[in-house]
Every structure is written in C-alpha cells, then in structure tokens.
Amino acid sequence: MTKRQGPLEDIRIVELGHVIAGPLSATLMADFGADVIKVEHPRGPDMMRDLGPKAAQDGVGVWWKTIARNKRILSLNWKADKGRAILRKLVEQADVLVENFRAGVLERAGIGPDVLHEWNPDLIILRISGYGQTGPMAKKPAFGRAAEAMSGMPHVTGYEDGPPMHPGFPAADSTTGLMGALGVMMALHARGQNGVRGQVVDLAVFETLMRLMDYHVPVLTGAKISPNRNGLRQPMDYAPGGMFRTRDGTWVTISAANPQTAQRLLRAVSGDALADDPRFADMPSITKNMTAFFDALNTFITQNDLADVDAAFEAADAVAAPVLSVEDILAHPQINHRGDIASVEGEETRVVAPVPKLSKTPGSMRWLGRAESADNHLILQELGLKSAEIVTLAAQGIIGLPEGKT
C-alpha cells in the first residue's frame, strides 16, 4: 500500500459517514495524507458502492472509486457490544470522527458526543445532518435536493416563467463536504489553544450552500430587492453576462463586473459604436439598458463561429469562455498541464486530482475506493487483536472479512 504523505499525515479520521456529504469531507482530508478509516456495516455497506454507473474494467461503481479513494475500509457492526468496544479503540486513537446520520442517531446508539469525549477528550466530531443538531426540524429526514431548496438556490436558477431548477450535480452535499473539511481544520487548529480540547462541528446541509450563495439575504434586507431566476442572465441583471451559442454550436459564457470590462465586451462585438455609447458609460446605465447590451452580444456571437468569437474577444482583452463537456475537459491542454485529472496504477478509471495545489506538501492519489472489508485484518491488528480473535468476530457477524478470506 502506498505510504501516506501530506500535511495531514499525522491525523487519523474515523468515518461513520455514508453517501456524499460526510464521506466527501473525509475524502478531501484523505487526499492530503489523513489516515481515514471508513467504517461500514458488514451487512449494509455504503450505498455509494452501487449508486450510478459501473467501471467497465471491474464492475465497481465509479462514484465509489472517487469518494472512497485514499481510505482504508473496515466493516464493523459498532452497535453490538463487541463492535462498540472496537469502535472505542478506534476513537481513542483518532483525531476526528465524521458522521452524517439524522440528528439523534448517535445518541440513541449510546455514543453521543458526551460518550465519545469520555473516550477521547481531544476528539473533533464532525456532525453533518440535513437541518442541524438543534431546532424544530433537527430530526426531520432530509436529502441534498431538499437542502438546496431550503438554501434558496433553485429559486434563482432557471427561467423567470419556468420552474426552479437544481444544478447537474449534488451541490448541497458537495459544498457541505467542503465546508465540513474546513470546519474540522479550524477545530484542529483551535485544539490546544486556551485550554480547548475536542469539540463538535455541527453542520446543516442547507446552511453550507446558503452561505456560499451569500448575496441573496443582504440583497433583500439591505437593498430591498428580491432576487429571482432570470434564465441565462444574472438573477438581478446587476452585471452584463449570459450564455450564448456560436454559429457552429458552441455555448460560451460572458461576464463583466465593471464598466471597463463591459466596454471591452461591446468593443469586441460592435467596435466603438456601442462601447462609447453613453447608455453603457457606467454600471447604473448598463443595468438600465441591459436588454440592449444582451442583444448586442447575442447578435454577434450567434452570427460567428467560436474561433472568430474567441479572436474578437481576445483582441479586445475580453473573455468568452466555452462551456466544456467532460470530453473537452479530458482533452484540454490547460487542465492537462495542471495535472487536474489523476490516475492510479492498474486503474482505467481516472478522477479529479486533489485540490488545492500546495507547493511543498501537495495532495496525492494513492488508491481508489477499495472492496468491502479490505483493510479489516490490518486495522484490527493495529488495535491489538489477534488473528484468531478476528476470525471469531467475523463468525459472530461483528466484522466482515475480505472476499475469499475466512
């Protein structure tokens, strides 16, 4: 097994997570060297193993390959007494525990934060749930789309006269994974300062996307404007931009956040005529005349091929960015130069490489998602169990064993 390296190589994480939000938090830290031990039930592994398409090479789910990458796998029934004893050993040696069950599940199992901190007072506990650990909705079941709806994102996505729309990826779960890793990093940094030891990071899935959207609440409370969906344009048309299709069928996106950029856009599509037009002299004027601005962009772009659009915009020091398909992504010279697509020896499936890029302690890809119970023997032996004990626990259904082992 490839040796762990990276800025988090001294951090051990016990992951009780499932599906996306909790596991992604752990994955992001595993990419940078954290020793993540993912715990699955022997008779009910993470559904991500079977969700979505399977790799042609080995029939393993490709989503599992990436969300469980760089993790060691332990199958353990931690609700049974003997399994709970093993979980305690894990927690005693861990820095972080990640869980994303519905609020109250750990408490009902007898391992709420009070118990976990008895076992390990320095433990950071990341608790991800749909609506948080407290409040009138705390125990309500949730899923990513419900959280997206509560954040307000679909309300500003789509056409004005059409239904609200979700994006083409699990935005709420994914942003929660990112925010969860950030929360753990801050809690680890705080540990040992001013007497702080372990603590709980309480993260509601809807909160993360709401925080990253950021602008909609101050727009209403401060400017008394209610943002709404506006098709291919900005929800409030506060800055020129939109999505346009070139004559040869490529979608490009345009954006300008200040009058200088906006005038460069206009100069690219119509020369000096519109760029020097007083209707577009400053952002208030541009906002007032946004339809004319949008129409000028649309006319030029739809009547020209991508190469000509790109040349005109480059000459004017403006940007028209083509929308890439995944095929385009894999072939793109900048993405390849940056090493943004990673591969592992013996695997045909490639994945997005660790982000961000650290100059001295970069992240790395060591392996993709492993089989059920793949690391049981090694992990349990590290905890002090003998081979005979491991076999007995497997026979009792407390743990699983890798396929083909008894």
pLDDT at 236: 75
Section 17-31 average pLDDT: 96
Q: At the topology level of CATH, where does 12-213+358-395 sit?
A: Rossmann fold (3.40.50)
Euclidean distance between CA atoms 210 and 189, whole angstroms: 25
Residue 296 has pLDDT above 80, yes or no: yes
Rg, the chain, Cα only? 25
Q: Find where tokens 């760029």 sit.
A: 275
Section 159-188 average pLDDT: 96
Active site residue 173: yes
Section 128-135 average pLDDT: 95
CATH number of 241-326: 3.30.1540.10
Cβ partners under 8 Å of residue 61, min gap 6 = 48, 49, 50, 51, 52, 53, 54, 55, 369
pLDDT at 297: 87
pLDDT digit string (tens) for 184-215?
A: 999 999 999 999 999 999 999 999 999 999 98
Instruction: Enter the tokens of residue 17.
Output: 């997570």
- Where in the sequence of the chain do the CATH 3.30.1540.10 domains occur? 241-326
pLDDT digit string (tens) for 235-280?
A: 877 777 789 999 999 999 988 777 788 888 888 888 888 778 888 8
pLDDT band at 63 (very low <50, low <70, confident <90, very high): very high
pLDDT digit string (tens) for 46-56?
A: 999 999 999 99
pLDDT band at 1 (very low <50, low <70, confident <90, very high): low
- Where in the sequence of the chain do the CATH 3.40.50.10540 domains occur? 12-213+358-395
- Selecting among 31, 46, 95, 173, the annotated active-site residue is 173
pLDDT at 364: 95
Euclidean distance between CA atoms 163 and 108, whole angstroms: 40
pLDDT band at 171 (very low <50, low <70, confident <90, very high): very high
pLDDT at 276: 83
pLDDT at 405: 58
As a whole number, the mean pLDDT across the chain is 92
